Amino acid sequence: MATRRLTDAFLLLRNNAAHNRHILAEQELDELADDRMALVSGLSLDPEAAIGVTKRLPPKWVDGVEEIQYEDTPAFFL
């Protein structure tokens, strides 16, 4: 009975899988960095005030949330 030597095929598949994992990990790190920059890019640090100041207006849904919170407060708190 003849047998096959599958070591070369195994090594090729293993190395390709390791390479693909490495490439994917790098892409995820790049995407994570892009997400962080997207979150932080709207901030400008004012050294005199020592606070973060936004360059853009807040999203429209923020006003709706504030209205809902105001309407939900009991009358005896007003």
Q: Is residue 46 part of a domain?
A: no
Contact 53, 44 (CB under 8 A): yes
Q: Which residues form the domain of 31?
A: 8-40
Quick check: pTM over 0.85?
no
The number of distinct structural domains making up the chain is 1
Q: Token pair for residue 20?
A: 């693909």
Residue 29 lies in a domain: yes
In a domain, 33, yes or no: yes
Identify each DSSP E strand in 1-78 by its residue range: 43-46, 51-54
Residue 36 forms part of a structural domain: yes
Q: Specify if 57 maps to a domain.
A: no
**Which pLDDT tens digit goes with each residue over 24-74?**
888 887 877 776 666 665 555 555 555 555 567 777 777 777 777 666 666
Q: Is residue 47 part of a domain?
A: no
